[in-house]
Structure 1
Amino acid sequence: MANIAAARIQREFKEVVKSEEVERCKIKVALKNDMYNELEGTIAGPPDTPYAGGTFKLEIKIPETYPFNPPKVKFTTRIWHPNISSVTGAICLDILKDQWAAAMTLRTVLLSLQALLAAAEPDDPQDAVVAKQYKDCPEIFIKTARHWTNIYAGGPHRELDLENKITQVMGMGFDEGKARVALSSHNWDMERATENLLS
């Protein structure tokens, strides 16, 4: 890792670890190795969102060209959100692409990602299926996002009606993960989800 990038990320890492604001927002960062080029971030789902009570892990890779280029960040905890891929965890956020500025820091990135969970941008989606549900069926979106938060991020809210549908689809011989994705993607319509799994 280039010296400028290593020195800068070490300083920023300490800033995040010591920041009261970051601690108050329940954001953490940890080293994956001693090189400071791979970090693991953790952000808490913001209150009054379907992600509340969940803990989401992030993979953060620092390029050699940092801080002139943004870190590469993705969710390793599965999440149902218009701007985050429900399959790969890839994130659509302008500051991680063309709106990055060298003055931005790791703290900015982590706080921005937490803010994204509270204010989705469905018109610039990473996951078109989730964005469509967010816009067309907001109540179903909230239940689905809460369900995924409970299952994958340790969230407190169980959606028993949704869990029952997953159990029914599993009874047809499909595994739980595939059943959840098919039902989530088809607004929990059993018939459409099953057709999708059989096609």
Structure 2
Amino acid sequence: MGSTSAAAGLLARQLKQMKNDKDIPGISCGLVDNNVFEWEVMLMINDDCKYYGGGFFRAVLTFPTDYPLLPPKMRFTTPIWHPNIYHPSGDVCISILHPPEDDKYGYETAAERWTPVQSPETILLSVISMLSSPNDESPANVDAAKMWREDPKEFRKRCRKIVRESLGDE
């Protein structure tokens, strides 16, 4: 039980810090059902982002009770089309959310995977960066990766539609 309360205390401090930090534009966080292990996140994507700029995307971060030793899981609840986001579940596939162990496929180094120095802030900033620069070498959504590589115009068109939908315009 001690590690659970330590994790809860750490998460409460990290949430408070993120709410008070004005240097993180475009990220808003709060608790789901007053549960410190489940955060609702709103990402308001900067217009500089080629594909998702101007969009408002909701997601949930679910933290394990042994956080920060193990990473949280992140799932978009707003529909999103991206090579590194499973479709239709919205689960995010990014290296820093992979457990701190050797990659059985040899694709990632241990340094690219989760370490306890990561935080909700670094996760969300990495996901925003991922939205701008997909990793199509290890896609979670093979169809999105193929479209991104082979038909960038159609990929951009689909993303713009998703951005409009995220704003309630469609």
State the TM-score, normalized to the length of structure 2.
0.85
Deviates more, 1:104-113 or 1:31-40: 31-40
Q: How large is the RMSD of aligned CA atoms in angstroms? A: 1.6
Q: Give, in angstroms, the shift of residue 155 of structure 1.
A: 7.3
Q: Give, in angstroms, the shift of residue 142 of structure 1.
A: 0.6
| Cα deviation digits, residues 71-116 of structure 1 (max 9, x gap) | 1111000011111123110111000104011011111111111111
Q: Is structure 2 residue 135 aligned with structure 1 residue 134? A: no
Contact 1:27 1:43 in 2 (8 A): yes
Which residue, out of 7, 10, 24, partners 1:8?
Answer: 10
1-side partners of 2:15 and 2:129: how far apart?
20
Letter aligned with residue 17 of structure 2 = E
* Structure with greater helix share of residues: 1
2-side partners of 1:88 and 1:36: how far apart?
23
1-side partners of 2:74 and 2:96: how far apart?
11
Letter aligned with residue 70 of structure 1 = P
State which structure, 1 or 2, has the greater radius of gyration over its C-alpha atoms: 1
Which blocks of at least 5 consecutive residues in structure 2 are unaligned? 100-112
Contact 1:55 1:155 in 2 (8 A): no
- Give the secondary structure class of the aligned counterpart of 1:21: coil
State the TM-score, normalized to the length of structure 1.
0.73
Contact 1:46 1:117 in 2 (8 A): no
Q: How many residues align?
A: 154
* Structure with greater strand share of residues: 2
- Answer 1 or 2: higher relative contact order, Cα 8 Å, separation at least 6: 2
Which blocks of at least 5 consecutive residues in structure 1 are unaligned? 159-199
Contact 1:146 1:155 in 2 (8 A): no
Contact 2:76 2:91 in 1 (8 A): yes
2-side partners of 1:155 and 1:123: how far apart?
32
